[in-house]
Structure 1
Amino acid sequence: MNVLQVLPSLNSGGVEKGTLEIASALVEAGHHSTVLSAGGRLVEPLEKSGSKHVTWDIGKKSLSSFFQVRKIRHWLAKENFDVVHVRSRMPAWIIWLAWRKMPPNHRPRLVSTMHGLHSVNRYSEIMTCGERVIAVSKSVEHYIKANYPRADHRKLRLIYRGIDAHEFPYGYRADDKWKESFFKQHPSLEKSLIVTLPGRMTRLKGHLGFIDIISNLKNKGLDVKGLVIGGEDPKRKGYAEEVYQAVAEKGLASDIIFAGHRSDMKELYSISSVILSLSTKPESFGRTVLEPLSMGVPVVGYSHGGVGEILTALFPDGAAELNNVKQVQEKVTAILQGKSKPVIENKQFLLSEMKRKTLELYETLTQEKR
């Protein structure tokens, strides 16, 4: 097969990571893989793994982007792709407008993936344009059915995002060299129980609730420290200052560590007693919940969206009601006191399954009568 994936850019993020994973799977299976985007730091690893990258900016939310439709149509016809897979709204509009005017018997098959729980409007509805529409979780599948009645629900296919079991192995522990280096940098964490909140510094991630939880746990006599992983959002400096002020007011300056953006997540999960997911907005999947759970590290989070699905499957004891900080605190206490059941080994949300099902979808669609 000759497959094209389309997205705005290749810098970072879950959509970008999934694109590279499918590109790699295509190459490994002997197919031709091309990715179209405006470029970014992930172009190099994409090309090293055997895929071709075409630099073309069709992700800009501007009327000028629509002037590229005709050029895209000619290019698609020339390249003779079997499948075109769109993963983001603006590029999906450009590709769909080009694709729909191509002769039906000579155009590629069109696949779209709904990666997020987008705002409900005509602009977002384009993500249901594919001849097959991939939903990355049951939450996304239900969201499409509830909010886009014009979409043909027979086109929907549930393919969970997945992680590499070797990348986040069950029972993994960081080596002594890494721990020595990390605890030298943050000595206050070495002898304490660590409660970790991964996520960029935005209000939706629940940092203020996290501060309350750490404060209450300490007031109960538990020797805990809070670890926040994730950098400040340049557009939300005021919120970051609000979080730091709340820490100071509660006298927790030495008890909550802000580690900023980190690339050694596996090691950080491994030294944590429990991970929290306090996002007040439902997520379409929840990779930072699945990664520690796959290692056997308990997670407590608000049970909605994709996070709720993952917790229900792998660690039901960690599922808390939305915005119920007190319940989160109780569940964390039970884990720290050893009164909670162990995490179930992840055999459902696997990268190998995501790759297999996606390539199978491509193959089935290309063989299907138009």
Structure 2
Amino acid sequence: MKSLTCKLVMIYWEIILLEVKIDLLVCFTEVKLKVVQFLPSLEPGITATLALEFANELVKKGHESLVISTGGPLEARFRLHGSDFISFPKISESIWSLRHKSRLRKILARLQPDIVHTYGRSTAFLAWRALKGESATSRPKLVPLVDQDFPNSYFNKGMLSGDGIIASSRGVAENLKKSSPKIAEDSIEVIYHGINIREFDREKPVASQWQLKLLNSYPQLEGKNWWLMPGEISASGGQEEFLHLLAQAAAQSDDIHGVIAGALAEDDLRYLKKLEGLAQDLDLGSKVTLLGERRDMRELYATSQLVFQLASEKDGNAKHSKEALAMGRPVVAYSEGCTGEVLQKHFPEGLVEKGDLKSLIEASLNLVSKPNNLNPQEFSYAASAGKTIDFFQSLLN
């Protein structure tokens, strides 16, 4: 009996020692990174916000964060959270940006970063040319972020010439491979953009004052089930498809009301008039409301019955769909683009083939008031940043 007890104790301590060895191995293999993010400006928007949130996550995890940009309103927030800012002239999307090549090369030689992470064509092109010709063992790793499809041209070569490439969706990654067959399969990493899950928190109640204010401004919404169509209003934004869907769905259920929320692309008032005319032709005058650009999207998601993404062009980030899913709303979308990829994994019942209006109507009516039970952490900035840091580490290793 004593012999058996001794053996069990020895096995126990062997397991403990093995766990300690594994922990030590992880500590020594996790390199602290010095990352430069190079982006055109720090104006509020998707690009600068992604860079800001990634910079914050880098600092939280003990890495060094530096930002090269022409600056903008978000500069103070980068500094506040521990990132160093290096001012750089505004660069254009053309080969004329090469006049800044020597300046960028000197800055990078002084900073000695491990990674140069670029956003957009102009920064990827300039960084590629600035680092071209330097020894691969001494220069930093170049990692462009690519979130849309681009043709294979000389100016776009910077996005195809990184030591690693981050694609915002599988569709974007596939297009990169088609554009440049020489790209190694393992050099492209698909990492979906994160969202602010603190802002889009389904557990936080909607203030009664907000509802009262909205209904006072738009009394036609009271007592209706809102079908929300967020996103930029344009000929390719999917609003026309949404109106056709709404007309047929409203004929089957008179408590449905369409809500279109988004900025008008390029202030195209002619298209807005066309959209309003289509609503009248479909007898939707009292059944659809155009809210314009809004800052209360969390509340609109929370109080909507369904959320739609019907853009005819492939989207590169699925921002609205991820926000709606994080808020627990069912989403109906086409199976193409980044939104299609996100729904395929997290909410496949909301997927519809483009151009199939009948299936679109059926899916919408079947999903009414069907909340999802997703873990919003999967869409967080922290999750996206963690995958990005792991990819950087793998490139260095």
Q: What TM-score, normalized by structure 1, do the two folds share?
A: 0.91
1-structure distance, mates of 2:321, 2:224:
22
- Alignment partner, residue 223 of structure 1: 255
Secondary structure of the residue aligned to 1:195 is: strand
- Alignment partner, residue 355 of structure 1: 385
**Segment of structure 1 superposing worse, 119-128 or 40-49:** 119-128
Q: What is the letter of the counterpart of residue 358 of structure 1?
A: T
2-structure distance, mates of 1:121, 1:280:
25
Secondary structure of the residue aligned to 2:268 is: helix
CA displacement 1:270-311 (0-9 Å, x = unmatched) = 011001101111112301011111221011011112111111
- Alignment partner, residue 290 of structure 1: 322
Q: Which of 41, 46, 50 is matched with 1:9 structurally?
A: 41
* Number of equivalent positions: 365
- Alignment partner, residue 245 of structure 2: 213
Contact 2:126 2:158 in 1 (8 A): no
Q: Which of 18, 32, 37 is matched with 2:64 structurally?
A: 32
Contact 2:125 2:157 in 1 (8 A): no
- Alignment partner, residue 163 of structure 2: 131
- Alignment partner, residue 272 of structure 2: 240
Contact 2:331 2:350 in 1 (8 A): yes
Contact 2:335 2:354 in 1 (8 A): yes
Q: What is the letter of the counterpart of residue 150 of structure 1?
A: K
1-structure distance, mates of 2:120, 2:389:
19
Q: Which of 159, 182, 187 is matched with 2:219 structurally?
A: 187
- Alignment partner, residue 85 of structure 1: 117
Secondary structure of the residue aligned to 1:205 is: coil
Superposed displacement of residue 86, structure 1: 1.1
**Segment of structure 1 superposing worse, 300-309 or 57-66:** 57-66
- Alignment partner, residue 332 of structure 1: 364
- Alignment partner, residue 62 of structure 1: 94
Secondary structure of the residue aligned to 2:189 is: strand
Superposed displacement of residue 95, structure 1: 0.8
Superposed displacement of residue 252, structure 1: 2.4
Q: Which of 164, 170, 176 is matched with 2:208 structurally?
A: 176
1-structure distance, mates of 2:202, 2:178:
36
Superposed displacement of residue 166, structure 1: 3.3
CA displacement 1:4-23 (0-9 Å, x = unmatched) = 11122222333222111111
Secondary structure of the residue aligned to 1:118 is: coil
Larger CA Rg, structure 1 vs 2:
2
Q: What is the letter of the counterpart of residue 213 of structure 2?
A: S
**Segment of structure 1 superposing worse, 144-153 or 204-213:** 144-153
Structure 1 residue 198 corresponds to structure 2 residue 230: yes
Q: Which runs of 5+ in 2 are unaligned?
A: 1-32
Superposed displacement of residue 159, structure 1: 2.1
Structure 1 residue 118 corresponds to structure 2 residue 163: no
Contact 1:133 1:156 in 2 (8 A): yes
Q: Which of 249, 255, 274 is matched with 2:306 structurally?
A: 274
- Alignment partner, residue 319 of structure 1: 351
- Alignment partner, residue 365 of structure 1: 395
Q: Which runs of 5+ in 1 are unaligned?
A: none
Aligned sequence identity (%): 27
CA displacement 1:115-171 (0-9 Å, x = unmatched) = 222344443342122111112222222222233212222311222222344332345
**Segment of structure 1 superposing worse, 188-197 or 327-336:** 327-336
CA displacement 1:21-58 (0-9 Å, x = unmatched) = 11111111222212222222322322222212233235
CA displacement 1:62-101 (0-9 Å, x = unmatched) = 3431111111111211122221111211111111101113
1-structure distance, mates of 2:380, 2:146:
19
**Segment of structure 1 superposing worse, 11-20 or 166-175:** 166-175
Secondary structure of the residue aligned to 2:307 is: strand
2-structure distance, mates of 1:41, 1:228:
29
- Alignment partner, residue 178 of structure 2: 146
Q: What TM-score, normalized by structure 2, do the two folds share?
A: 0.85
Contact 1:111 1:132 in 2 (8 A): yes
Contact 2:326 2:379 in 1 (8 A): no
CA-based RMSD: 2.1
Superposed displacement of residue 347, structure 1: 5.4
2-structure distance, mates of 1:47, 1:358:
21
**Segment of structure 1 superposing worse, 149-158 or 82-91:** 149-158
Secondary structure of the residue aligned to 1:160 is: coil
